Amino acid sequence: MANFVVWCVWVGAAFCCIASALAVVTFSNPFFSALALIGNLASLAVLYLLLGGAFVAAAQVLVYGGAVMVMFLFVIAYLGDKTDQAPWASGPSWQAVATVLAAGAILTEIIVAVALESGGGLSHSPRIAGSFGSPAAIGRLFLTDHLIAFEVTSIVLLVAAVGGVVLGSHARSLQGDARS
Amino acid sequence: MHGPEVTWYVVLAAMLFVIGALGVLVRRSPLIILLSVEIMLNGSNLALIAFARHVGREDGQIFAIAVMAIAASEVVVGLGLIVAMGRRNVELDVDKLRTLRG
């Protein structure tokens, strides 16, 4: 019974995931694309919970669904109607057709590779601790085995913040030049 | 509680990755391209977390969190560039940004 419920949740989340991803790619208004991406991130968080990643799911909702998407929506609202663009306005170009074909080839290749390679061997590991993926376990790993990755990530975030400020202030000075 | 096997998650991750790649290659608005890159990163994150469950260790989840941090910094720089383009009244169309083409 529990197995059936998990399958139902998985199918629902996977369907939402694929549908919202397709919506992101096909909507012509970027605002709606960003809203669809929030749905995609939320359904992925459900899948992470099914895989035992409680902390990652929480981080996904907070960092992605919260911070990153708010930034996206602010920029889209700031740029306004400059961003409107119909994706298939000029009909399917040869570029688009070739892209769809290449994407289908990649998907087939990955699925065939997974099916050949797994042979039923990719089942869940039978034994996991009850604290698998909990904030305590993740934090312990971060501060022991992956300490360098943790510190390097913080430096990368700092550099990105500095880069964002520099890009913003540079644009402001350009605007001042244009006005004077 | 068993639920679907890791194979299903990996196939779903591959589908997400391919949809994101389609968006990156087909769409011309840089904003949509950034959103599609987010979909690709999330597909790879799902595969990482599925394999972490498969192996039974949390290291894959650590990788996924690192990917999230990198994605956040990528979005900051990308959106900064897009805002700079918008302020200079450059048309937001990656096919028309060809100044650097030799």
Share of chain A above pLDDT 70, in %: 81
Q: Domains in chain B and their CATH numbers?
A: 6-87 (1.10.287.3510)
Among positive and negative, which fits the CA dihedral B67, B68, B69, B75?
Answer: positive
Separation of alpha carbons A64 and B74, rounded Å: 12
**Chain A residue nearest residue B24, CA to CA:** A25
Amino acid at A29: N
Report CB contact under 8 Å: B14, A175. Answer: no
Is A136 in CB contact (< 8 Å) with chain B? Answer: no
The dihedrals phi and psi of A140, each to the nearest 5 degrees, come to -65, -40
- Give the other-Cβ count within 10 Å of A16's Cβ: 17
Report CB contact under 8 Å: B32, A153. Answer: no
Q: Position of tokens 């009909």? A: A91
**Chain B residue nearest residue A129, CA to CA:** B56
- Which among B37, B44, B34, B41 has a CA at the least distance from the CA of B78? B34
Separation of alpha carbons A143 and B63, rounded Å: 14
* Chain A neighbors of B44, CB-CB under 8 A: none
Separation of alpha carbons A68 and A34, rounded Å: 10
Q: Position of tokens 């589908």? A: B15
Under the banding of pLDDT at 50, 70 and 90, the label for residue B37 is very high
Q: What is the mean pLDDT of chain A?
A: 83
pLDDT at A171 over 70: no
Summarize the confidence of residues A138-162 as an average pLDDT.
Answer: 91
Which one of A2, A156, A174 has the shortest CB-CB distance to B88? A174
Report CB contact under 8 Å: A72, B75. Answer: yes
Interface test with A, best of B22, B46, B70, B81 (most A CBs within 10 A): B22
What ipTM did this prediction achieve?
Answer: 0.89
Under the banding of pLDDT at 50, 70 and 90, the label for residue A178 is low
Q: Are B14 and A114 in contact (CB under 8 A)?
A: yes
Under the banding of pLDDT at 50, 70 and 90, the label for residue A125 is low
pLDDT at A86 over 70: no
pLDDT value of position A107: 86
Under the banding of pLDDT at 50, 70 and 90, the label for residue A179 is low
Of A146-150, B16-20, B56-60, least confident by mean pLDDT is: B56-60
Interface test with B, best of A11, A47, A100 (most B CBs within 10 A): A47
Task: Convert the pLDDT of each residue in B43-99 to its tens digit.
Answer: 999 999 998 888 888 888 999 999 999 999 999 999 988 888 888 877 777 877 777
pLDDT value of position A85: 58
Of A11-25, A100-114, A124-138, least confident by mean pLDDT is: A124-138
Q: What does the H/E/C string look like for chain A? A: CHHHHHHHHHHHHHHHHHHHHHHHHHCCCHHHHHHHHHHHHHHHHHHHHHCCCHHHHHHHHHHHHHHHHHHHHHHHHHHHHHHCCCCCCCCCCHHHHHHHHHHHHHHHHHHHHHHHHHCCCCCCCCCCCCCCCCHHHHHHHHHCCCHHHHHHHHHHHHHHHHHHHHHHHHHHHHHHHHHC
Burial of B64 (0-12, 13-18, 19+ CB in 10 A): buried
pLDDT value of position B75: 92
* Chain A neighbors of B64, CB-CB under 8 A: 53, 56
Q: Are B6 and B69 in contact (CB under 8 A)?
A: no
Give the minimum alpha-carbon distance from A2 to chain B in angstroms, rounded to a whole number: 6
Task: Convert the pLDDT of each residue in A16-64 to its tens digit.
Answer: 999 999 999 988 888 899 999 999 999 999 999 988 888 999 999 998 8
Task: Convert the pLDDT of each residue in B22-32 to its tens digit.
Answer: 888 888 888 89
- Which among B39, B46, B45 has a CA at the least distance from the CA of B21? B39
